[in-house]
Amino acid sequence: MSDPAAPITEVGPPPAMADGLLIGKAETYPAGTGTIRHTHPVAQVLFAIEGVMEVETPAGQWITPPSRAIWIPPGEWHQVRMLTRVLVRSVYVRPDAVVNMPATCAVMSVTPLLRELLLAAIGLVPPHAPGSRAERLIHVLLDELQVLPSLPLALPLPDDPLLLPLCQRLREVPDDSRSAGDWAAWLGIDSRTLQRRFQRATGMSFGEWRRQARLLFALQQLAAGRRVLDVAYDAGYASPSAFTAMFRRQFGATPSEFFANPG
């Protein structure tokens, strides 16, 4: 978890943004690098055509595997860490260009159509003449963004100081198998109080939050090229088959399928 007191820098979009509804940018980052904590006055779609990113926002931690994108609303502070070498394609979107997007960050499944639209948008240089191919392509891209489903790739971080040490422990050691009752005793509260505080602080039960923490840990490890066998045990699962079954329930695909295929 990053330093909560880290400064926030407002970073403007590319200057040409003023001449159009959106503008794209292509960048490549080595593994282990990242950005400062910052905001944009416009929305941003972060898309990796290769590699995996971890994004932190006020709402929590987000993982974007290959062929997924993260929607970042205007004004939402965020910082990005590259878990592998990442080829990033960013599209900055004027706030009034979309009306049906989430008010908080969301990871979206990138369809083959959206992938090609995003890649095409990188090469468009404003201004875009009314009725031109560029303008039509942009409107199709914006329409497609607003109908995509979100993926369960977020881990909400509680603002409850009592829960923070527990959550930090479960993020660092996801195979810690102590029960909710054990953790409640460790915190000096009863199990019901623990569950109420988790629900209030994260919108999830303790069990749901722990499963999500294990899932995001597993995604990070798989992105680094580790074997499913090793990741399953390190994430706290009794067997690789139990881990794969959980993964399939979440995403409708095995880990290898998930990382290989978009959508």
**Given pLDDT bands bounded at 50, 70 and 90, which one contains residue 262?**
very low
Token readout for 61 is 């931690």
Phi-psi sector, 124: left (phi>0), alpha (psi -120 to 50), beta:
beta
- Range with the largest mean pLDDT of 17-26, 123-132, 166-175, 214-223: 166-175
Residue 4 included in any domain? no
Q: Which amino acid is at 191?
A: S
For 213-240, what is the mean pLDDT? 89
Domain identity same for 139 and 188:
no
pLDDT tens digits for range 55-77: 988 878 888 877 788 999 999 99
User: 121-164 pLDDT, tens per residue?
Assistant: 888 887 788 889 989 999 999 999 888 877 767 788 888 999 99
Supply the pLDDT for residue 263: 43
pLDDT of 117 > 60? The answer is yes
* Domain count along the chain: 2
- pTM of the full predicted structure? 0.73
Domain C-terminal end among 151, 186, 210: 151
CB contact at 8 A, 106 and 141: no
Does 165 lie in the same domain as 106? no
Q: In the prediction, which pLDDT does 45 show?
A: 93
Q: Are residues 30 and 143 in the same domain?
A: yes
Same domain, 130 and 198: no
Q: Given 115, 133, 151, which residue is the final one in a domain?
A: 151
Residue positions counted in the chain: 263
At residue 256 the predicted structure's pLDDT band, cuts being 50, 70 and 90, is confident
Residue range of the domain that includes 234: 158-260
Domain boundary (151, 174, 200) is at 151
User: pLDDT by residue (tens digit) across 7-60?
Assistant: 778 786 666 565 678 888 899 999 899 999 999 999 999 998 888 888 988 878
In a domain, 110, yes or no: yes
The answer to whether residues 247 and 230 belong to one domain is yes
Identify whether residues 139 and 244 lie together within a single domain: no
pLDDT at 207 (0 to 100): 93
Task: Report the share of the chain in percent with pLDDT over 70.
Answer: 92
238: domain CATH number?
1.10.10.60
Asked whether residue 88 is assigned to any structural domain, the reply reads yes
Same domain, 168 and 130: no
Looking at residue 23, its pLDDT comes to: 86
Residue 3 placed within a domain = no
User: Do 30 and 49 fall into the same domain?
Assistant: yes
